[in-house]
Amino acid sequence: MSTDRTTELAGQVAVVTGSSSGIGRAMALELAAAGADVLVHAGHNTAGAKQTAAEVAGLGRTSQILTADFENEAEILNFGAAAWNWRGGNDRDRVDIWINNAGADILTGAGRTLDFEQKLRRLWQVDVLATVMLSRFIGEKMKQRGRGVIINIGWDQAESGMAGDTGEMFALSKGAVMAFTRSLAKTLAPQVRVNCLAPGWIKTAWGQQASEIWQQRARQESLLARWGTPEDVAKAARFLASPAATFITGQIVAVNGGRA
């Protein structure tokens, strides 16, 4: 029997960190379109979080906003506890789907002016440590309850490598997340499924303003000869969160149009 694509996540509760814009917003909206209620997280972009929450509500789903700066280690677990309980005290209202999408922006705005070590520390804190801490905290609660899905975000070139400062930093941080995902999946099995999406060239804010050199490179390195979109990643997340993926765990799923 096929699953109704408009309701496959009906009655489920999701948390998407870093969902005030970009890939995170697209994933929040995709899960809401599938029937899930969604908690929206932002580090600082409260205006963006309000927009995401409004769009979730426009899809007929319940939403709430929680802000937490993951560069502040004390805020990470405080956020996890608040997010786990955002729908109330009943076990059936706890979080079913948790997506660790929050990432440090070192490519645009003030982040791009930092030196190598400062950028690496920011990536380690937000992309790696927050993912590990929240996954372990939420994963244990999901395992005790007997069900749950965790999705992390890696990078399709983390294992093959890319030359330059940015490539080194992202290979280190996202490679760590990908390796952690495989181990966590074994720790939490069989009750909780843990997978990782590894996006390739996705046209987020940086991609929209990237030079023609990068525009050409993105197209040339994809077998489909185009940039990916946040919605491409969101659709993959929806699949991994859905009943259609109940026999998939411990996997790194590239969303890159095929690497040329």
pLDDT per residue as tens digits for the range 33-65: 999 999 999 999 999 999 999 999 999 999 999
- pLDDT computed for residue 4 by the predictor: 55
Whether 1 maps to a domain, the answer reads: no
Of 104-108, 126-130, 171-175, 248-252, the poorest mean pLDDT is in: 104-108
Q: Are 192 and 140 in contact (CB under 8 A)?
A: no
What's the CATH number where 184 sits?
3.40.50.720
Mean pLDDT of the chain: 92
186-215: b or e for each residue (b if 16 or more CB lie within 10 Å)?
eebeeebbbbbbbbbbbbbebbeebeeeee
What integer is the mean pLDDT of 146-162?
Answer: 93
Query: What percent of the chain stands above pLDDT 90?
Result: 74
Whether 6 maps to a domain, the answer reads: no
Burial group, residue 54, by CB count within 10 angstroms (0-12, 13-18, 19+)? exposed
**Domain with 191 in it:** 13-254
Tokens of 135: 């996954």
Whether 8 maps to a domain, the answer reads: no
Whether 2 maps to a domain, the answer reads: no
- pLDDT computed for residue 194 by the predictor: 98
pLDDT at 219 over 60: yes
Number of compact structural domains in the chain: 1
Q: What is the pLDDT of residues 185-208, one digit of tens each?
A: 999 999 999 999 999 999 887 777
Whether 259 maps to a domain, the answer reads: no
Tokens of 108: 């645009």
Q: Are 70 and 43 in contact (CB under 8 A)?
A: yes
What integer is the mean pLDDT of 82-89?
Answer: 86
Whether 154 maps to a domain, the answer reads: yes
For the whole model, what pTM was predicted? 0.93
Tokens of 49: 């979080």
Tokens of 104: 């440090």
